[in-house]
Structure 1
Amino acid sequence: MSGLNRLQCHCGVYTIKHIECHVLGLDISMVSDENIWGARIKIMWDLWEAANDLELIERMSKYEPVKCSKPPEYVEIDDL
């Protein structure tokens, strides 16, 4: 997979597309510098549509994060 992300500004899009290919069982060779710009525009468009979706805006206005009763436990790596 050498030669990918030559511009070093698409790393987030590459990450999303690699995860998407893995989850959907698609060939990872579909992700390349030649088509990453289009993927970047598609992700931007999807986010813009979601930000302007009235139903989603309504749902998010009612969102309440889950309250934790106690702080999470931390495990020291050396203890494993």
Structure 2
Amino acid sequence: MNVKELQAKVQDYTRYAMILTTVSVFLYIGVAFQHAGKEAIQIFTMMGTTVFLLGGAVFFVVRARKLKKLLQEQDNQ
């Protein structure tokens, strides 16, 4: 891959991580305010989805860091 493609992927992965983190925060806020009459299954589903989305965000952050490191190695050569 060339440098521009790698830089574009780093930007995309960073944006994916931010979006997934934002969505998980909104779901967590929904879990935090339990007095809204939610059933237990709804709370567990939202919390599970929050954990899943945060895991996806971590995955994309790790991928972006690896690609940044690869870009730095290519620049040093």
* TM bucket, shorter chain: 0.3 to 0.5
- With normalisation by structure 2, the TM-score equals 0.33
Higher alpha-carbon Rg: 1
Whose relative contact order is higher, 1 or 2, with alpha carbons under 8 Å and at least 6 apart? 2
Decide which structure has greater helix share: 2
